[in-house]
């Protein structure tokens, strides 16, 4: 099952995001095929202020574990993380 991780950064935390970015990217890349896609949300100033990460996991508990192990989460970057089951209905490359 797919899960969307909707992560919102704490205010004024851009430097923490930048400082932790390399380990965050390494973590996501290490998920292999579990990671479907990911990228930052952008504020009005075009600077990142959150993340959208879509992962495949066996259940909500496994998706929560993936989210909790993200270096961004461990560093305290996020003000909130909403994890929701998601159905990739349109342009899903696995449904050719």
Residue 12 has pLDDT above 90, yes or no: yes
For residue 56, is pLDDT > 80? yes
pLDDT of 33 reads 96
Res 28 pLDDT > 90: yes
Give the ranges where the chain is alpha helix by DSSP (H).
14-30, 60-69, 71-74
Q: State pTM to two decimals.
A: 0.94
In the predicted structure, residue 73 carries a pLDDT above the cut 80: yes
Task: Give the chain's end-to-end CA distance (angstroms, integer).
Answer: 18
DSSP H or E run through 40: strand 35-42
- pLDDT of 96 > 90? The answer is no
């Amino acid at each position: 099952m797919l899960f969307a991780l909707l992560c919102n950064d704490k205010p004024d935390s851009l430097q923490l995001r930048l400082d932790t970015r390399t380990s965050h990217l390494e973590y996501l890349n290490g998920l292999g095929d579990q990671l479907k896609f990911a990228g930052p949300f952008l504020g009005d100033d075009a600077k990142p202020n959150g993340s959208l990460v879509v992962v495949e996991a066996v259940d909500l508990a496994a998706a929560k574990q993936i989210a909790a192990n993200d270096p961004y989460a461990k560093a305290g970057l996020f003000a909130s993380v909403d994890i929701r089951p998601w159905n990739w209905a349109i342009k899903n490359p696995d449904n050719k």
